[in-house]
Chains A and B, each alone.
Chain A
Amino acid sequence: MIAYILRRLINIVPVVLIGLTITFFFIHLAPGDPTLRLMDPSVSPEVRQQVIERFGLDQALHIQYYNWLRNVLLDFDFGNSFKYGHPASAVVLDALPATLLLTGTAILLGLLLGTVSGIVSAVYQGRLPDRLINLILLFFYSMPVFWLGMMALGLFSIKLDLLPASQLSSIYYTDLSPLAKIMDVAKHLILPVTTLGLASAAGFGRFIRASIIKELNSDYIMAARARGLSERKIVLSYAARNGLIPLISLIGLTIPVMFGGAVVIEVIFSLPGMGRTMVEAVLGRDYPVILSASSWAFISVVIGNLLADIGYSLADPRVRINT
């Protein structure tokens, strides 16, 4: 098992490198001149030339790639952001916590709501509670996250003025006591996290319902009933337990989706996270930031999948990991 984990961890390196290499060439071959977006068009050609030389943009592509790769591998140095001037890794690292906080809490909320509603729905299959839950889940499932976010923002922040509309904390944040700081961030997170959490709860809930119903209809459940097991035990420790196993791999697959959701949510609620940084970097052709952000995104997603695979093999004895 440990050998397996180590092997998978080592495997992350080529995966991320291949991903980054593709991204590197994709970026550099894509139309659009970074210097044009970077600077005022009125800047003289000489100054522009200086900038190009400083970033090495005039060299042949393979040399640029070689230099870039060497820096990344040796120093984890992605170069300086075109826009901010300081190291791209720092720009991205600054944005990472907000995104992790947002997606982490949203996944937890989604899992909680999704599991409860999925189990209830499956147990009451076809009856009123199931129909009601189904309808609600279907509604949220079919909704673009960003639209839900916009509507929530318009209603609760702008119209009713109940919750803050943007940023992760208030301007007077630094003056607050530790407890008040937490409350402040929590208040800022309510809308974005609920939006993202509801969207993922809908997916989880529908998945769990179907999965548990499938289990409830299988022969071993009938056999367990024949042995006189209580319905409670059959639902909770047989059907729900087995039906939740596939959820583990779904969580692994959901992580990148959540990053996607985080992009639009961060843009709508002006949160200082990776998603917004990425959108700005793409629009501004800020190569170092794009590559640095991508690498973090790749790493966290691959680790998420690894954890999902390990979890799956722990939960289901039929799936054995061959080391």
Chain B
Amino acid sequence: MKDWYYLLKKLWRDKSARIGMLIIAVVAVSALAAPLLTPYEPNTQDLSIAAQAPSFSHPLGTDLYGRDLLTRLIYGARVSLGIGLCATLLAVLIGTTVGLISGYAGGWVDNILMRIVDVLLGFPRLFVILLAVGLSTPSVKIIILILGALSWMEIARIVRGEVIVIREMLYVKSAVALGISKRKILLEYILPNTTDVITVYATLLIGTTIIVEASLSFLGLGVQPPDASWGTIINQGRIDPINAWWISTFAGLAIVITVIGINLLGDSLRSLLNPRADQN
């Protein structure tokens, strides 16, 4: 708990981390407090005010069904952020475990695990996610499962690569020579030295996942109406990109800004957790 407090304090002193956290906080809070923030309903259609340009009562305009775009985006944040977070968590859990075991055990265990990773990486991800989502009945839960279960392989590989290098380091070798148990070496000597990579990669993965989910929804395979993620809203804007330009533009900007926030935070985390890499 205290560690967290200090980390947060340090992050707050870093300008780009502060910006990142503020962005994330604003998006997250508005997602959570959505009904309090907007007088409009996200799904109630009113064709009489369809496709109105940004105005005072509808700051970002209305969509093709007369729904307030800002309201749609705020509610969309719930879906987009939620999917990004949950799927990443799942991927980190699987990936770290596999990478640690594979890198440390070596031999046939490593061989089999990496073969599995090969097979899964052999599936071009969006391609397969598309297949999986396209052939099932898409729901938020299924999308999270599919995204998480198909995103852990890089983490596993990166962790394994780190472990192989760390395993050869003197302090680990001497720990082995001292007869310290494998479990202890893995968890206390090796894992702490991989957390930097994991944290940084995981943070970036949240952003990537939000984007992948948006791509699915954009292709019409993700979150189904009347629910909407940001990708769904961008897709809707495709119908009339010139006259109703604001729909896709603002929905896209919502993604870009959020992901920028996440990446800013991730980068600062990296330089804080691994000061040598960012000494200058």
Chain B CB within 8 A of A56 CB: no
Task: Report chain A residues within 8 Å CB of B214.
Answer: 144, 146-147
Docked-complex contact A23 and B125, CB < 8 angstroms = no
Binary flags per residue of B240-254, CB closer than 8 Å to A gives 1, else 0: 011001001100100
Docked-complex contact B238 and A150, CB < 8 angstroms = yes
Docked-complex contact B121 and A19, CB < 8 angstroms = no
Task: For the complex, count residues of A whose C-beta is within 8 A of B.
Answer: 55
Nearest CB to that of A210 among chain B residues?
B277
Chain B CB within 8 A of A238 CB: no
Assembly CA distance A145 to B214 (angstroms):
10
Assembly CA distance A95 to B137 (angstroms):
28
Among B1-9, B127-135, B176-184, which stretch is in contact with chain A? B127-135
* Known A142-B259, A146-B215: A298·B122 in contact at CB below 8 Å: yes
Task: Report chain A residues within 8 Å CB of B241.
Answer: 150, 153-154, 158
Assembly CA distance A2 to B242 (angstroms):
56
Chain A CB within 8 A of B256 CB: yes
Docked-complex contact A142 and B207, CB < 8 angstroms = yes
Docked-complex contact A260 and B276, CB < 8 angstroms = no
Docked-complex contact B234 and A125, CB < 8 angstroms = no
Nearest CB to that of A16 among chain B residues?
B122
B266 to chain A, nearest CB (A): 10
Docked-complex contact B131 and A144, CB < 8 angstroms = no
Docked-complex contact B127 and A147, CB < 8 angstroms = no
Task: Report chain A residues within 8 Å CB of B234.
Answer: 144, 146-147, 150
Chain A CB within 8 A of B188 CB: no
Chain B CB within 8 A of A32 CB: yes
B178 to chain A, nearest CB (A): 25
Among A70-78, A82-90, A111-119, A276-284, which stretch is in contact with chain B? A276-284
Chain A CB within 8 A of B170 CB: no
Binary flags per residue of B154-178, CB closer than 8 Å to A gives 1, else 0: 1001000000000000000000000
Among A61-69, A226-234, A251-259, which stretch is in contact with chain B? A251-259
Docked-complex contact A151 and B242, CB < 8 angstroms = no
Docked-complex contact B256 and A143, CB < 8 angstroms = yes
Nearest CB to that of B208 among chain A residues?
A257
* Known A144-B215, A158-B241, A301-B121: A260·B126 in contact at CB below 8 Å: yes
Binary flags per residue of B200-224, CB closer than 8 Å to A gives 1, else 0: 0000000100011011001101000
A residues 8-40 with Cβ under 8 Å of B?
A: 11, 15-16, 18-19, 23, 26-27, 30-32
Chain A CB within 8 A of B124 CB: yes
Assembly CA distance A278 to B133 (angstroms):
13
Nearest CB to that of A303 among chain B residues?
B122
Docked-complex contact A151 and B134, CB < 8 angstroms = no
Task: Report chain B residues within 8 Å CB of A267.
Answer: 219
Task: Report chain A residues within 8 Å CB of B191.
Answer: none
Chain B CB within 8 A of A106 CB: no
Chain B CB within 8 A of A213 CB: yes
Nearest CB to that of A267 among chain B residues?
B219
Assembly CA distance A133 to B259 (angstroms):
18
Docked-complex contact B131 and A142, CB < 8 angstroms = no
B residues 94-129 with Cβ under 8 Å of A?
A: 115, 118-119, 121-127
Docked-complex contact A27 and B263, CB < 8 angstroms = no
Docked-complex contact B127 and A278, CB < 8 angstroms = yes
Q: Which of B137, B219, B270, B280 contacts A126 (CB 8 A)?
A: B280
Docked-complex contact B276 and A15, CB < 8 angstroms = no
Q: Which of A19, A27, A145 contacts B119 (CB 8 A)?
A: A19
Chain B CB within 8 A of A100 CB: no
Nearest CB to that of A26 among chain B residues?
B135
Docked-complex contact A259 and B118, CB < 8 angstroms = no
Chain B CB within 8 A of A198 CB: no
Docked-complex contact B255 and A158, CB < 8 angstroms = no
Task: Report chain A residues within 8 Å CB of B11.
Answer: none
Chain A CB within 8 A of B264 CB: yes
Assembly CA distance A146 to B136 (angstroms):
23
Chain B CB within 8 A of A195 CB: no
Q: Which of B123, B218, B242 contacts A146 (CB 8 A)?
A: B218
15 A-B pairs whose Cβ atoms sit less than 8 Å apart in the complex: A15-B118, A15-B122, A138-B264, A143-B255, A144-B218, A151-B248, A213-B278, A253-B121, A259-B124, A260-B212, A263-B215, A278-B130, A285-B135, A290-B131, A294-B123
The 9 closest A-B pairs by CB, nearest first: A260-B126, A30-B135, A259-B124, A256-B124, A142-B259, A147-B252, A282-B134, A142-B260, A298-B122
List 17 additional A-B contacts (Cβ < 8 Å) besides A27-B135, A263-B219, A278-B130: A11-B115, A18-B119, A139-B256, A143-B255, A150-B234, A150-B248, A158-B241, A210-B270, A217-B276, A256-B121, A257-B126, A263-B126, A278-B127, A279-B134, A282-B134, A282-B135, A298-B123
* Interface positions of B (Cβ within 8 A of A): 115, 118-119, 121-127, 130-132, 134-137, 154, 157, 207, 211-212, 214-215, 218-219, 221, 231, 234, 238, 241-242, 245, 248-249, 252, 255-256, 259-260, 262-264, 270, 276-280
